[in-house]
Amino acid sequence: MSYLEVSGVKKVYTTRFSTNKVEALRNVNFTVEQGEYVAIMGESGSGKTTLLNILAALDKPTAGNVILDGKDFSTIKEADVATFRRENLGFVFQEFNLLDTLSLEDNIFLPLVLEGKSVGEMKQLLTPIAERLGITDLLYKYPYEVSGGQKQRAACARAIITNPKIILADEPTGALDSKSTDELLRLFDEINKMGQTILMVTHSVKAASVAKRVLFIKDGEVFHQIYRGNDSEEAFYQKISDTLTLLATGGDRR
């Protein structure tokens, strides 16, 4: 069995003031192996955000299954969802989602506080991560005192400090300038090389070209996928661009 298995996932919304039904996801099927780095791309409205919300256990599919490391999401009791999410999933968001009233260190500690870890345990876990991410000297600063790239590094530290089974990244470079984007993508590459499984939703061809595989969503289904293999980032970038052009011009599934 694959590490993450998404099988026949469908999501239908009923609009609030009518009986009209909107099919956000039609029939999504894919698997992710442990240690993979996968990007998900598609035009606005293709179903990427809906899919990410289901993978994050923030929403439930109308039909189909999501299984992570043998655990079927449909078997998780409502009262246990938050705990499951905290213990198994790491999140990196476009807007960082850091609390301005807490230092970077305390922001990073939040998921560990919820797990009931002691201060000593938390500091022991953070020290090597902060060194690796280059934020040791920033830990006592507040989010409003550091750059966007530094905020995103802190957000990455918060995502990996619980040793999650998978990191879900939602447009992680969307609020960054080009330099900070380059830094974050190098960081994601390093985290992945350490064995961390990453699934990233992005509009950015540049961000996707650092992944090892790209899934393209169209009209609520996986339209196509490409593997990086031995390609350089530049060659993979071109393949991704060509596939997006095919999507935009109504090309057939390949």
Q: What's at 124, amino acid-wise?
A: Q
pLDDT tier at 252 (50, 70, 90 boundaries)? low
In this prediction, residues 145-166 reach a mean pLDDT of: 91
In tens, the pLDDT along 73-115 reads 999 998 899 889 988 999 988 788 899 999 999 999 999 998 8
DSSP result, 75-125: GS-GGGHHHHHHHHEEEEETT----TTS-HHHHHHHHHHHTT--HHHHHHH
In this prediction, residues 37-41 reach a mean pLDDT of: 96
Between strands 89-93 and 166-170, the pairing is parallel
Task: Work out whether the CA dihedral 16, 94, 58, 5 comes out positive or negative.
Answer: positive
**Of 8-22, 81-95, 147-161, which gets the smallest average pLDDT?**
8-22
Does the pLDDT at position 206 exceed 80? yes
In this prediction, residues 20-44 reach a mean pLDDT of: 92
Beta bridge partners of 65: 7
In this prediction, residues 238-243 reach a mean pLDDT of: 94
CA distance 131 to 136: 6
